[in-house]
Amino acid sequence: MTMLPKKRPETLGGYIVHNVPFPKELTPEALEWLKQMTPIQIEQPYSITYLHSYAQDSPWFAGLTNKKLLASQDVETGYTYATPRGHDMYTGAETNWIDITDRHAEVHAFTVCHFGSEEFLAETPFVLIQVEFEGVDTLLLSRLAGVDPLKASLDWIGMEIVPKFLRNSKLKPTDVYFVPA
C-alpha cells in the first residue's frame, strides 16, 4: 500500500490573492450572500505549443524559403492559381507546381493600410496589393515595398513589380513581398 505524504509541499507557482471577500461566519444569510458575490477573475499567461501542417501547400512555403514563387496549375485545363492549391477548384484534379518567380508581374489593385494586426501594427501604413502575373488566372495578395504609402497614386496600378523574399524565412505568406521593377 502506497502512503500519501503527510503534507504536500508548497511551490512558488500559482497566484498571490488579496482581499477576496468572504463572510467571517457561515450563517444562512452569509451563504445566501455568496450566491450574489461578484465572480472572482484572474488573469494569467497562457501558452501552448501548436503543431501546424501546411499539408499539400508545403511546396509553396518551401519555395518561398528558397526564394522561388510557385503557382498551382490544373494539368488538364492549364488554369493557374497564384495561390497554393493542391486541387483544381472546378475539376477537382490534382494540380502541378510551376515556377512563376521570373514572370512579368504588375499591380492589379492596391490599398494603403493605416491599421494592421499586432504583427504589422509597427509597420503601418503599408501598401497591400493584388499581384497579376503573366499567364496566371488568379491574383496573389501581397505587400508592396519601396513606395511611399502616404503618396499613393493610381499610377501604381499596372506598375511592373518584382518579388523579393525575406532573408530569414518565417514560413508565412509574408515571406514574399514586391518592389517596383
Confidence of residue 38 (pLDDT cuts 50, 70, 90): confident
- Domain membership flag for residue 77: yes
Q: How far apart are CA 135 and CA 23, in angstroms?
A: 75
- Domain membership flag for residue 137: yes
The answer to whether the pTM exceeds 0.95 is no
- Domain membership flag for residue 78: yes
Q: How far apart are CA 53 and CA 131, in angstroms?
A: 26
Please return the burial class of 155, using the count of CB atoms within 10 Å of its CB with bins 0-12, 13-18 and 19+.
Answer: exposed
| pLDDT over 90, % of the chain | 69
Cell 505549443 locates to: 49
Confidence of residue 2 (pLDDT cuts 50, 70, 90): low
Query: Which pLDDT belongs to residue 158?
Result: 98
Total number of domains in the chain: 1
Mean pLDDT of 113-133: 91
User: CA quadruple 100, 104, 109, 113: dihedral positive or negative?
Assistant: positive
Mean pLDDT of 116-135: 91
- Domain membership flag for residue 2: no
Q: How far apart are CA 133 and CA 161, in angstroms?
A: 10
- Domain membership flag for residue 82: yes
Q: What is the pLDDT of residues 142-172, one digit of tens each?
A: 999 999 999 999 999 999 999 999 999 999 9
Confidence of residue 16 (pLDDT cuts 50, 70, 90): confident
- Domain membership flag for residue 33: no
What value does the CA radius of gyration of the chain take, rounded to a whole number of Å?
A: 28
Domain that holds residue 175: 55-180
- Domain membership flag for residue 125: yes
